[in-house]
Amino acid sequence: MFFSAKCGLSCTYCYIGKEKSTAKINNTITEEFRDGGISRVLLENYGKDVSSLSLWGAEPTENMDLFIDQIDEILDTFPKLKTISASSNFFKKKSPDSLVELIKKISTIIQPDRELNLSFQCSLDGPPWSSDHSRQTATGRGVTSIIAKNTHSFIKEASSLDIPKNMMVRLAFKSTVDIPIMRSMVDNDDLFYDYWVFFDQFGEHQNKENKQFRVYLESCVPTTILPGTYTSEDSIYWSKYLKKCVDHSRQQNPYKYLDNTKLIPYLSSFERVISDSEQKRTQNHGYACGASGFGFSLGTERRAHICHRSYFFEDEGYVKLSALTKDKYENGREKIFMKKFMSKRSDEEEFYRQQYVSYGFRDFFQTKYSYVMTTLYHLARCGQADKDYLWDEDYRKLTALFIAGASNCIMEGYFTSGSFHLPPQETIKVWSGGAIKILCNEYIRRLKERECVGS
């Protein structure tokens, strides 16, 4: 659900335009959620069987006091609620402090026979030479040191809490790194190691005795910015970076808290695609995020969204800003989206039409799969992809399965290609330089290794 329209940062790759008019959306949010409004809004739109609740926006912790004040009522209203999650940039000290307060409050009121998971995500893109480039204030000032300090503080305090055994609290990192930064790590071993050492430090304050609080350090594995403007040269460097991570995973572990065997980007996604491939193909379903794959994301004034990324289209000021900063094709797609795919929850006909589209993201899996297969072949013909795609059909099938299933966002597809069902060319291109071959070879090696150990 859309929980805040305020944010203290202006990150370079953020899809949300920053301007004063977003304050109006935040006022609408706080008015709706004040005085027991959170339970009321959820109940009206989802019923009593809510099992998972995610707080999104710009920076959800800006309004976390409302959630803390009402958490006892929320838990009473939704007896099946098992997971509460939120993503934060940890820039303001109030962000980690409010999350600690939430843990404390739930710890004192949760019933002993009820299980609950709290899952928090910290957006941080690495050490200052990387993250200061991407995560900035509106004036362009890097904020890595501030975020790191606040994250240390949160880990130290959360580790010291007396959390009930029927409650689990998790902290993970979300690191988004562009190709130029990855190129620098490919060409410079010191920078490559410095990236991992930076995240390794966050294991320092975790109390290993506290089994109810866990920091998932290996979640710091970087993801690429998608969609992006990628060239065939970029895809080669992305493959080189993956190969360097694979080689690194086979070396003796140099870190104190990190496990270097788990530091390969997208390997777990690749394994998931392989293990579920037969089921996904026969059911004609692709993977999808929670909202676009299994329901809808709730905005203000009971609006149903396909994804949290369209929340800000609710604001006229943001729409005007978008018209000034984007080309006419992007702007045209946004206008069509706002007209057809932001429905009031009360408008049953429009709502179910929207649901049909979002479920189609999975149901039209074969369309995406075939499209990627064909695109890989023609990119290889033009010398913009691994030449093995020309003759190795299994290699193309595997890559298409991965891109269509595990590296594909419904909103990125629409705003880049104009279709909910076609992965952007940029996504296909960045994976076409040999990256899948590297992941596949490592997967097979580990599989054989496990078989040897088992026998």
Q: Listing from the earlier edge strand, what are the strands of the sheet with 2-4?
A: 2-4, 52-57, 83-88, 116-123, 167-174, 213-216
Q: What is the mean pLDDT of residues 140-162?
A: 94
pLDDT of residue 354: 85
pLDDT of residue 60: 93
pLDDT of residue 287: 44
Domain boundaries, the chain: 2-181+189-219, 226-284+364-445, 291-361
Look up tokens 């890559």; give the residue: 399
CA atoms within 13 A on the CB side of 83: 9
Find which of 198-212, 243-257, 265-279 is predicted with most confidence, using mean pLDDT. 243-257
To the nearest whole percent, how much of the chain has pLDDT over 90? 55
Q: What is the mean pLDDT of residues 255-270?
A: 95
CATH for 2-181+189-219, options being 1.10.287, 3.20.20, 1.20.120, 1.10.760: 3.20.20
| Residue 252 burial (C-beta neighbours within 10 Å; 0-12, 13-18, 19+) | exposed
pLDDT of residue 23: 74
455: confidence class by pLDDT, cuts 50, 70, 90: low
Q: What is the mean pLDDT of residues 24-41?
A: 89
pLDDT of residue 283: 46
C-alpha 358/C-alpha 139 separation (Å) is: 37
State yes or no: pLDDT of 72 exceeds 60.
yes
pLDDT of residue 285: 44
To the nearest whole percent, how much of the chain has pLDDT over 70? 93
Beta strand residue intervals within 150-296, DSSP E: 167-174, 213-216
C-alpha 253/C-alpha 191 separation (Å) is: 17
Residues 6+ apart with CB under 8 A from 387: 380
Q: What is the mean pLDDT of residues 160-175?
A: 96
Six-digit token pair at 167? 């409650």
C-alpha 236/C-alpha 232 separation (Å) is: 7
C-alpha 341/C-alpha 71 separation (Å) is: 31
C-alpha 266/C-alpha 439 separation (Å) is: 8
Q: What is the mean pLDDT of the chain?
A: 88
Six-digit token pair at 52? 């998972």
State yes or no: pLDDT of 284 exceeds 90.
no
pLDDT digit string, tens, across residues 78-129: 999 999 999 999 999 999 999 999 999 999 999 999 999 999 999 999 999 9
Q: What is the mean pLDDT of residues 5-34?
A: 77
C-alpha 263/C-alpha 222 separation (Å) is: 9
Angle made by CA atoms 200, 98, 46, in degrees to the nearest 5:
105
pLDDT of residue 277: 60
State yes or no: pLDDT of 176 exceeds 70.
yes
28: confidence class by pLDDT, cuts 50, 70, 90: confident
290: confidence class by pLDDT, cuts 50, 70, 90: low
The model carries a pTM of 0.90
Q: Please report which helix (H) or strand (E) contains residue 31, including its range.
A: helix 22-33
Indicate the range of 134-138, 188-192, 377-381 predicted with least confidence: 134-138
Q: What is the mean pLDDT of residues 222-244?
A: 85
